[in-house]
Amino acid sequence: MLWQDGVEVPLTPRVFDILCTLVERRGALVTKDDFMRLVWGGVAVEDNNLARQISTLRKLLRERPGQREYIATVTGVGYRFVGTVTAFDETPEDLRPIAEPMATGDGTVDPSDAVADAPAAVENVRDVPAVPDDRSGRRVIPTTPVRWTLAIGGLAAAAVALVLAWPNKPTRAANTTRTLWQFTHGSGSQSDPAWSPDGTRLALVSDHTGNADIWVHGINETAAIRLTTSPAHDRQPSWAPDGRALVFRSERDGGGLYVVPAAGGPDRLIVPFGSHPRWSPDGRQILFSQTAPDSSVVVKLFVVPAQGGRPERVMHAALAGLQVTSAAWAPDGQISVWTRDEAGGRHFITFPLGQGPASRSTLPAEVSAPTASTQLGSFLWAPSGRFLYFEGRTRTIRNIWRVTVDPATRNWIDGPQQLTIGPGADVGLTLSPDGSRLSFAVNTARPGIWAFGFDPATGTLAHEGQQIISGTSGERGVDVSNDGRHLVYRLDRDNRQEIWGRQLDGEPRLLVSERDVNVTVPRWSPDHSRIAYLRQNRRGAPDRRAVVVLDVSLPDQPPIDVFPLAPDDEAIPTDWRADGQALLTACRVGRDDLLGICRLDLPTSGGRAIQHKLAVDQRLALYQQRYSPNQRWVSFIAVPRADRSTSTVYVMPADGGPWRALTDGQAYDDKPRWSPDGRVLYFISNRDGRFEVWGRRFDPDAGLADGAAFRVTSLGASRQTLSPYLTDMEMFITPDRLFLPMFEAASRIWMLDQADR
């Protein structure tokens, strides 16, 4: 088990064995033959298998491009571990609270080992005997932690603690007068906390049984009760005001909302869709949403009777022309929403169900200004109505922020004030009934691009996959060449944007480094000799846009061709035509604000590139344009401006023409990608409740779909899922591999005391 400042880093067994082998022989050369003997047991494997595993390990250890802080390469021979390792015969006192799992009655380890009540309890570590099942048949798990050790095989019966110099703790309090402490410990992940109405229990999600289930912990007790046992994932619990039941989101049977008794018992379906349910203060209704795929725009709100029934869409005249990004019940039973207008302005509105008068909170400039750099997302009210608590996102980092509110007028009067600081994601906020203690999950999910063995003709996955690039902070925008052997990606460093390239199993190579400009995701040419991207000045500078083409086939500084665009044009390259003389782009032409599809013809000898509009629609935004392998068709998605929770996959002739729908527009279908023979169009869809890869067969001669859509992936492991953020999500298909953006999650529940001070 590998831990980063108290949070487990998910490792595959093979990567863990390689790490142990290197650490045991730290400072010494470990040859390729040594690895084959010690890790693979003498079994013959592919030549590049070890290199891929070492590359994955380096990314997990956050080695920087070109740096080798932990693992040094001895070219052609093997590897040497050069990081600092401290071994202990006994776990030191200061390391014991890092991970203290608890034995259950059957000898397994429960990851949701809560520390009882107070921060001081973290220091009171003691052994706990196994506890048998209670008479109800539910497993009752003691929540006082035991000490832990990290045993690395081969170190002569010694228990050792491996301490690597990883930067930053998962999170910390911004104000040191508030106490921040970790509530759960152990392996696995715990998330989605929810305080009971009497303040004595905390519901949460734990995945130690193999999938995510709802558990209830007594704050001052030593037991946890499991409420759900479905093989599907159960998440997002919310208590009824009387404390007798909880509502939650389940992925079973395509996804829906269920209610379960708080004391345990059978659950029941109340509505067959939706997410993020929240019980109303009077207990009569449940508010829930259909959330857009990037989890940042809630486009539809619903309420359903708590006993079940027909859900009703939440509508109000005050929401006209606004996009709702998050919603919550106000203390008085009205609904509050955080919205965005077409110009990007933010508005906080509270209204009753029905068409009663709405109140629009005043956001003074000094209060709203910080939201320009920090995107405020999900929120909840303090019971007193004096504070709003937000999840605030800055790039990939999410922390907790607080706004002070006038309870009488709901006007914002102070803040936003940052309550937590850290490099991870502080999410899933819940307040104790008295408003003094804030509970949340610290999510250290690690994004990355994974490669799976794949037969694109049949849609069959061949193996469990291998991480080939990490999504460390600032690293976004990946493209994979058609042969699957070359990568190019964008990296943000302070005020500089860089583009790096490498072979799949090779070392990274810096291709571009520029200040004060923005660059889009670079795209490989069909022969992987060139890349193309859009470069434009950052805000505050003259807005000059140009498409840049680099020849990366040469070992030295690649030649650069710059093709300026017309002053009012914008063209984001998404694909190359097979002859290399034109680019397919997501475009805005002239002063038209509509995002459409264009072809950008590249001049043969300098000059301005010429853009030709292929498709545009006043009601739709068009994305994800790709040429079919035979160059006769263009695939893309269309997202309705009025309802961004759905999209439709289309194809049209390569030079423009009638659109033909391949999906029905009832779900969010994204990233359509062609099989190499052009006979299957694969896409990512949430049609069954969570994002999976789907496919639909296609006749490339007739330009028509052939048969119904079929499912390709079933990513049932709760710790490894497709990225939930569309801006980070990509998919690539090569003759033998499927490349996907994956999240490996590890999270813990934390408590912040004096949250209302």
| Domain 446-744, CATH | 2.120.10.30
Give me the amino acid identity at 472.
Answer: T
* Tens of pLDDT, residues 217-227: 998 776 789 99
* Tens of pLDDT, residues 119-156: 433 322 222 222 223 322 222 223 333 222 333 433 33
* Tens of pLDDT, residues 405-441: 999 999 999 989 999 987 778 999 999 999 999 999 9
The alpha carbon dihedral of 517, 503, 601, 577 has a sign of negative
In the chain, which segments carry CATH 1.10.10.10? 1-108+145-166
CATH of 1-108+145-166, one of 3.50.50.60, 3.60.9.10, 1.20.1090.10, 1.10.10.10: 1.10.10.10
pLDDT of 722 reads 78
Q: Which of 687, 690, 739, 741 is nearest to 718 (CA)?
A: 690
List phi, psi (to 5°) of 734: -120, 175
pLDDT of 558 reads 64
Which residue would you say has higher pLDDT here, 127 or 281? 281
Q: Which of 56-65, 291-300, 605-614 has the highest mean pLDDT?
A: 605-614
List phi, psi (to 5°) of 604: -80, -20
* Res 693 pLDDT > 70: yes
* Tens of pLDDT, residues 460-482: 987 778 888 776 544 567 899 99
> 457-461: which pairs have CB atoms within 8 A and are 24 or more residues apart?
457/675, 457/677, 457/679, 457/680, 459/680, 459/682, 459/695, 459/710, 459/712, 461/712, 461/713, 461/738
Is 38 in contact with 3 (CB distance < 8 Å)?
no
Least confidently predicted of 160-169, 499-508, 516-525, 705-714 = 160-169
Least confidently predicted of 223-232, 364-373, 382-391 = 364-373
* Res 157 pLDDT > 60: no
pLDDT of 719 reads 65
In the chain, which segments carry CATH 2.120.10.30? 167-444, 446-744
What's the pTM?
0.68
pLDDT of 125 reads 24
* Res 204 pLDDT > 90: yes
Measured over all CA atoms, what is the biggest interatomic distance in the chain, rounded to whole angstroms? 82
With cut-offs at 50, 70 and 90, classify the pLDDT of residue 50: confident
* Tens of pLDDT, residues 85-95: 766 544 444 44
pLDDT of 378 reads 92
Is 107 in contact with 91 (CB distance < 8 Å)?
no
With cut-offs at 50, 70 and 90, classify the pLDDT of residue 643: confident
* Tens of pLDDT, residues 15-38: 888 888 888 887 778 888 888 888
| Domain 167-444, CATH | 2.120.10.30
* Res 240 pLDDT > 70: yes
pLDDT of 590 reads 57
* Res 80 pLDDT > 60: yes
